Each structure stands twice: as C-alpha cells, then as structure tokens.
Amino acid sequence: MAYTLPGTGESACAANPVRARRWRIFWSYLPDWCLTILFWVTKLIDKVDGNRRLFSVTDESLAHPYANPERVPVWLLGVICGLVPALFMILTAAFIRRSFWDAHSAILGFVLNLGLTVTFTNVVKITVGRPRPDFFARCQIPDSITSNPIHGLTSWTVCQNLVNIKEGFRSFPSGHSSFAWAGMWYLILYAAAKMRINNRRGHTWKAWLLLAPLLCSTLVSISRTMDYRHHATDVIAGGIVGIATSWFSYRQYYPPVCSPQSYKPYSPRIPHPDAEKSSLPLHNKPRRSSSENLTSAYGSGTGGAGVEHAGYKNPYDGYPPRREEESVMVHEGQREEEERLGMRSEDVETVQR
C-alpha cells in the first residue's frame, strides 16, 4: 500500500523507500497506542457500583481507623511507579542505546503493562467487593447494632455514612500494590536486559542497582497495610498481578532477559526491504556425504571417530551401534544416497583422506 507524503502529493514509496517504511510502521502501531490509551484513560469501569459483601459487626479485622492522608497518595504513586520508569527508559534509549525504536518499544510495552494492570485490578475489585480494614470507620455503624442478625450477617444498609462506602468495598486486590509492582518490575526487566545481567560476569553492582525498584514496590505495598487500606492478602495478590502483567507486556516487545540479545527490542512488524536478502542461507560449507556421517557415527576402520566439520552435529549421536543383521540395509541405503548425490566410492575415499 502506497502512502502520500503530507503536503507534497507524492508517493512515499516512489520518493524514498526508507521514509515509506517509516510511514507504514507508524500506521501499523497507531491503533496499538490508541487502543491502549483509550482503555486506560477512560476508566469507565470505575463508575460501576460493584458488589458489596455482607460482613460481621464483630469482625475485628474491619475495625481499624481511617487514615487521612495516606502515606502514598495516588498522584505520588503515579510519579514514582509510572513517570520515573518511563523517563528512565526514554533517557536510556536516547543517550545510551541511541535508538528511537528502543524508546518506542519500551514505552508502548510500559503503557500496555499499566493499562492491563489497572483494568484487571479494577474489574476484580468491583466483582469481589471485599470490605477494607477501615470499613467500620467509613460505615459508622449505629451503637445499637452490636451483633449480627440470627443465622446471618450484616448488610451495608446499616451504615450511617455513605460518602466513602463505595470505596470501602474495594479491598481485593490492592490497586497501589499491583500498579507499583507492574511499573517497577517492568523497570527491573528493562534495566537488567540493558545491563546484560546474565552475561556470566557476576558483577554485584548490577544486583544492588536492581534492588532500588524492588524495594520501592515492596514499600508501597507495605504502606497500604500501614494505612489500613488493605489486608495482607490484598497486597500479595496485587503484587502477583503486577508482576504477571509486566512480564507479559515486556515480552511482547523484548526477548527474555536470559537471551544474548536481551538488550535489543524485537524488530518492527513491517520488515526491512533487504530483510529477505539478508536472511538467505549462505551455502559456503562443504557438503557432507552419507558415508562420512556413517564413519563419524560408528568410527572408521581403525577405530577413529571421524573428522567433524565445524558447527556440525551428528544426528546419530547418542544412538547405539546397529546390529550386524542391519549392516546390509545400511550399505544399501548408503549406496542409494551416494547415487542420489552423484558421488562414487572413489570420491568418498578422497573426501575421507
């Protein structure tokens, strides 16, 4: 498909193949950006009231005070676990890698990561409807209600204060925890790949650097239990969600950290015009006859193992020697293979020598 350059009316393909490919890449990834940002920014799921579980008025785990202000408010969470990792990846791609494509892949995967995390966490929150540890402080249950109904539990309709009651039923999983672990674990994967953490050199300073984002996400999760906003199981589940989404999103655009090429993003989905030419195999290695394969597999007449070409792996390695009654079939197959390749026994002997 040919694109027209803005303001010129000239075909991009005819003017410049490199520019034409760039436009194709732009239009190819534009829907990914729009879809990811749209689902994340709109947050339509937050407007849903959600489930409200029954509770026991004697449950001490719900009787904690309401902390105001929070130790880590939402805006600070966005700066620490969202803006800081994004700036780190942009600066790394710009001044160290000097690659626009690396910055594009990192930020697109990062935005996808956070979008998936926020959406999944909010859907589960609304569906579960678990009361927060500070639920009684939000609800302000009348003093006259000191026990549950006979053979039952208490409903939220007894609450006298309904201002914060909606958020009071969104404890599981922790949104702060999932967001923090999603942002910081993605940063850990990105930084570990750029530092080539698995290059078998064992530099300890790399591990100490990666400890910083790990501690950040851990402390954010702990702060939610200190503010009595979440139970311990809530922050653990949020951390699992964040790690899972960050790993999934990172692997969409980067190879695994254990890969020798882990510091490079995957190539664009629009291949380079010379990709097919450069990917053709080079037939510059000597062809190996079937007699050489048999010689290397079973040994030469003097008991040797045969001469192996560089990079060649014998397909018969690990197999036991053939039985004597199969030797006739082996020689017949060898002769047929030599005739197919156009080789005679004299040629084989010359190769073996």
Catalytic site includes residue 203 = no
Burial class (CB in 10 A: 0-12, 13-18, 19+), 244: middle
Alpha carbons 298 and 320: distance in angstroms, whole number: 9
Alpha carbons 136 and 141: distance in angstroms, whole number: 7
Burial class (CB in 10 A: 0-12, 13-18, 19+), 284: exposed
Q: Which structure tokens are listed for 220?
A: 């954010």
For residue 271, say if its preceding peptide bond is cis, omega within 30 degrees of 0: no
Catalytic site includes residue 331 = no
Contacts of 8 by beta carbon, 8 Å cutoff, 6+ apart: 15
Which one from 104, 230, 231, 283 is the annotated catalytic residue? Answer: 230
Q: Beta strands of the chain (E only): which ranges?
A: none
Which one from 151, 176, 283, 309 is the annotated catalytic residue? Answer: 176
User: Which 8-state DSSP code applies to residue 51?
Assistant: -
Alpha carbons 269 and 342: distance in angstroms, whole number: 43
HEC assignment per residue over 181-233: HHHHHHHHHHHHHHCCCCCCCCCHHHHHHHHHHHHHHHHHHHHHHHCCCCCHH
Q: For residue 39, how many other CB atoms are within 10 A of its CB?
A: 16
> Catalytic amino acids?
176, 230
